[in-house]
Amino acid sequence: MDINMREIIEKNMKEQMQLLRRVMETDYADKMIEAAECILHAIQTGHKVLIAGNGGSAADAQHMAAELVVRFEKDREGYPAMALTTDSSILSAGGNDYGFEAVYERQIQALGAEDDIFIAISTSGNSENIVRAVHMAGDKKMKVIGMTGQTGGRMRELCDIVLCVPHDRTARIQEIHEHTIHTLCQLVEQKM
């Protein structure tokens, strides 16, 4: 089978550009402003940002936490943020004792507080462990920002703010999520 690599590259780039245009035609930018203001308010009032996702979205959670705690582009104080995806002992103990569906819910229960932020990342909006964590965050009166794709899945109705990328390919959704993370970090950093 002869694979034309240039064709694949160009197809992916065109698909991403088309998706960016499509996202720009929605209220996504307004939702990003709302999310940035929410994060800013939490940090300014002494609260923290907890972030979780699975697979590539787990990496996105870690990436965002690093940008908030360390820095995005400016030297400044660190902001209180934590990816719930990084502690292998907590993840494996929680998975073993309560099931993988509870690994983030348990951490939100233990670490989350009223007026903290939970950024829930699921490209489908239906990841059971993320949905359960969103429910727990709601119970704790945390503000929930959902980063989803497709139609938003179950998270669409559960989150305070939904950043939904209207596409069904995980790679394209994650590319927009990456852009969203960078932009949110830039907005927070510029406004602090």
The residue ranking higher by pLDDT, 191 or 165, is 165
Q: What's the pTM?
A: 0.94
**Each residue of 42-88: pLDDT tens digit?**
999 999 999 999 999 999 999 999 999 999 999 999 999 999 999 99
What letter does residue 160 receive in the DSSP assignment?
S
Question: In degrees rounded to 5, what are phi and psi of residue 9?
Answer: -60, -50
Find the angle CA(132)-CA(184)-CA(32) to the nearest 5 degrees.
Answer: 75
- CA torsion through residues 82, 87, 93, 96, sign: positive
**Each residue of 111-146: pLDDT tens digit?**
999 999 999 999 999 999 999 999 999 999 999 999
Q: Which domains does the chain have, with CATH numbers?
A: 27-191 (3.40.50.10490)
Please provide the average confidence, as pLDDT, over all residues in the chain: 94
Collapse the DSSP code of 136 into the 3-class scheme (helix H, G, I; strand E, B; otherwise coil) and give the result. helix
